[in-house]
Amino acid sequence: MALRLDGTDVSGFKFLFSLAVMYGLMSILVHSVMYTKFITPLGIDAPLDRFSEARAIEHVRVLAHEIDGRQEGRQGLREAAEYIKAQLERLKERAGSNFRIEIEENVVSGSFNMMFLGHGISFGYRNHTNILVRISSIDSQETDPSVLMNAHFDGPLGSPGAGDCASCVASLLEIARLTIDSGWVPPRPIIFLFNGAEEVFLLGAHGFMRTHKWRDSIGAFINVEASGTGGLDLVCQSGPGSWPSSVYAQSAIYPMAHSAAQDVFPVIPGDTDYRMFSEDYGSIPGLDIIFLLGGYYYHTNYDTVDRLVPGSMQARGDNLYSAVKAFAESAKLRNARQRESLGVSNGSDDGQAVFFDYLAWFMIFYSRRIAMALHSIPVIIFLVMPFFSRFLYSGLWCCFATFYDFVKGMILHTTGIMLAIIFPVLFSILRLLVSSYGMNWFANPFLAFMMFIPISLVGLLIPRTVFHGFPLSQNVSVLKVPKEALSDEARFWGAFGFYASVTLAYLLAGLSGGFLTFFTSASMLLAWISFCLSIKFSGRQLARSSVFYVIPLIPCLTYSVYFGGFLVQFLIEKMGMMGSLPPPYGNYVPDIVVAAIVGVVTGWCMGPLMPICGKWLARSSILQFLLHLSVIALALSSQFFPYSRDAPKRVVFQHTFLTAGI
């Protein structure tokens, strides 16, 4: 059936195309940032006072490829320890007389209990090797507060472990070299811990924290990890308190951090050495910094040096060196005894701070106390606005009618967001009913966007299409304001109220991710002011006023694409580790999860535009077009196999022993 378009439809398609171009440009920018294409790695001949990715990669090459296997019980782990120790000895030989270099090979044994994913686990271990070096000034004392940098040199079974975590060890070796060659003498000692037993439930870090003489001197730590082969080197955990994230915010050259990551990390089925230092045995202020992209190769035989994302180690090295210098020079650095005597044993001042980077260009940081006040403002504005805008002119009854319209606008916007999530989920189920296999998007992430974004937009636009004329409670004749203007106002403040309410919910739940919706609501407020000024000075020209509404939102929308795109890509890569779920419904779960997340991200990236710009898109012709796009994507997706060389399928062989009758 041919599609008949009138003038309004044509304008709507032009607007849709303009949005596609805008989001396409944003996506190109975001892809460049996510994969560190804006960073030029330094070569092997780089100045000695700079961190060099090429020099660090030479260490990765030795550890991952010239040494055969770095697993507990294999000779390769011993060879890796000897290689690290030899590199440190070479540094000690050429260090100046103003340095004190102490190198130790520490063999640890012990036992402990821990809770992991709700299960109690008991461990007993012996004879695990850690390599340590303490770099300090010649005048330093054993009790001086120190900064710990930790990375593990053991690897997962069957994997060369280039990303996890030869890249971490190499980064620390290059930073140790840089400390010596740059001429910067640390005012406080820096301890590099190369621990040999992280993959077997954090045993090396536990042994250090329970037995080593330097453990009580540590005033701050940085744990370096990898859950992939590069990309953003994200601060995933920070604490106790806000001081560690504050130091990082002030010092990082390419800041990559989201306090929202701390909200979800506890529910992820994984752990790092951060737990041993900051939670279970130390209460030491610190950072957990992790490579998160390249999850296809994590813990597989594909984790090779050629998979490392160029620029990632350069960004990591520059950030780490700057951060460790800031920690070492900070007046707040205290050893365990000083923290205990001052009553700051947990390193806390006012709880977890709120922080996030903007495209790795700069970082925004504010304390929990400021967040309590700041994140409450949007919901206060939403509650006060009906009375502020109507009371002096129309009386109390009109104020309540306006507020009622705002609430209806919020309900409609919430419905759109929910449908933006539900429609892709239903579509993913439908796809699996007609397709021969699931997870087609695993090796081709663009398929997830092609299939689920258009149908998510359909869900987002449904309330606007159904209620094309907003059901106003206000009396248009009394207010002497055009109905269209009152409808725009109710839709806008309803959407604003939705984001304000989510921000408040985050705050009351004690979480740190409320900056996501706070940024959205603050940007919408600026966009609304720009929209109203455009109407005041230029009249109600729909195209012109819509542009003036969109422009102030661009920084917010770009960030939404940045955060949302990273989230979807990370999730898709990690779906390869999800494991087999029982039939008949297990086959549906990965597709449902990815569809729901794409729906959430689409609602977040497009939602702020809907109150004003939805009028251009809520056309039956556009909804049909989006639906057809989804169906075409569904048909195309069936031609793609879920796995490839670059996105391999994981196969796990497991031996189970059952002992009964004892």
What pLDDT is attached to residue 346? 44
Pairing of strands 190-195, 119-137: antiparallel
Interval 281-333: pLDDT, tens: 888 999 999 999 999 999 999 999 999 999 999 999 999 999 999 999 999 99
What pLDDT is attached to residue 270? 78
Does residue 440 carry a pLDDT above 50?
A: yes
Contact 495, 608 (CB under 8 A): yes
Angstrom distance (rounded) from CA 220 to CA 324: 9
Interval 529-538: pLDDT, tens: 999 999 988 8
Interval 151-172: pLDDT, tens: 999 999 889 999 999 999 999 9
Range scoring the smallest mean pLDDT among 103-117, 404-418, 545-559? 103-117
Region 95-105 average pLDDT: 95
- Which residues, in sequence order, are bridge partners of residue 226? 291
Radius of gyration of the chain (CA): 28
> Of 466, 445, 453, which is closest to residue 420 (Cα–Cα)?
453
Angstrom distance (rounded) from CA 567 to CA 599: 12
Does residue 495 carry a pLDDT above 80?
A: yes
Does residue 267 carry a pLDDT above 80?
A: no
> Of 40, 208, 223, 212, which is closest to residue 149 (Cα–Cα)?
223
Does residue 143 carry a pLDDT above 80?
A: yes
Write a three-state SS string for 546-584. HHHHHHHHHHHHHHHHHHHHHHHHHHHHHHHHCCCCCCC
In the chain, the percentage of residues whose pLDDT exceeds 90 is 73
Interval 584-624: pLDDT, tens: 778 899 999 999 999 999 999 999 999 999 999 999 999 99
Pairing of strands 190-195, 218-226: unpaired
What pLDDT is attached to residue 183? 86
Interval 305-318: pLDDT, tens: 999 999 999 999 99
How many other CB atoms are found less than 10 A from the CB of residue 86? 9
Does residue 148 carry a pLDDT above 80?
A: yes
Place of tokens 């189920």: 429
Interval 174-227: pLDDT, tens: 999 999 999 899 999 999 999 999 999 999 999 999 999 999 999 999 999 999
Does residue 457 carry a pLDDT above 60?
A: yes
User: What tokens does 421 get?
Assistant: 């999530």
Taken as a whole, the chain contains a residue count of 662
Place of tokens 């049909």: 624
Confidence of residue 635 (pLDDT cuts 50, 70, 90): confident
**Which residues make Cβ contacts (< 8 Å) with residue 312, sequence separation at least 6?**
36, 167, 229, 230, 231, 233, 291
Interval 7-38: pLDDT, tens: 788 999 999 999 999 999 999 999 999 999 99
Confidence of residue 348 (pLDDT cuts 50, 70, 90): very low
Region 242-267 average pLDDT: 92
Does residue 3 carry a pLDDT above 60?
A: no
Contact 535, 545 (CB under 8 A): yes
Q: Give the predicted TM-score (pTM) of the model.
A: 0.93
Contact 191, 198 (CB under 8 A): no
Range scoring the smallest mean pLDDT among 49-63, 408-422, 433-447, 470-484? 470-484
What pLDDT is attached to residue 660? 66
Q: What is the mean pLDDT of the chain?
A: 91
Contact 461, 416 (CB under 8 A): yes
Distance (Å) of CA 227 to CA 75, 161, 236, 297, 473: 25, 11, 11, 9, 53
What pLDDT is attached to residue 347? 44
* Amino acid of residue 11: S
Confidence of residue 345 (pLDDT cuts 50, 70, 90): very low
CATH number assigned to the domain with residue range 53-342+351-366, chosen from the 4 options 3.40.50.800, 3.40.190.10, 3.40.630.10, 3.40.710.10:
3.40.630.10
Contact 109, 207 (CB under 8 A): yes
What pLDDT is attached to residue 473? 84
* Residue 278 exposure: Cα atoms within 13 Å on the Cβ side: 24
Angstrom distance (rounded) from CA 193 to CA 137: 18
Does residue 6 carry a pLDDT above 80?
A: no
Does residue 82 carry a pLDDT above 80?
A: yes
What pLDDT is attached to residue 51? 98
- Which residues, in sequence order, are bridge partners of residue 363? 357
- Kindly list the domain boundaries of the chain, sorted by start residue: 53-342+351-366, 369-638
Q: State the Cα angle at 603 between 601 and 604, rounded to 5°.
A: 65
**Which residues make Cβ contacts (< 8 Å) with residue 171, sequence separation at least 6?**
56, 151, 224, 313, 316, 317, 320
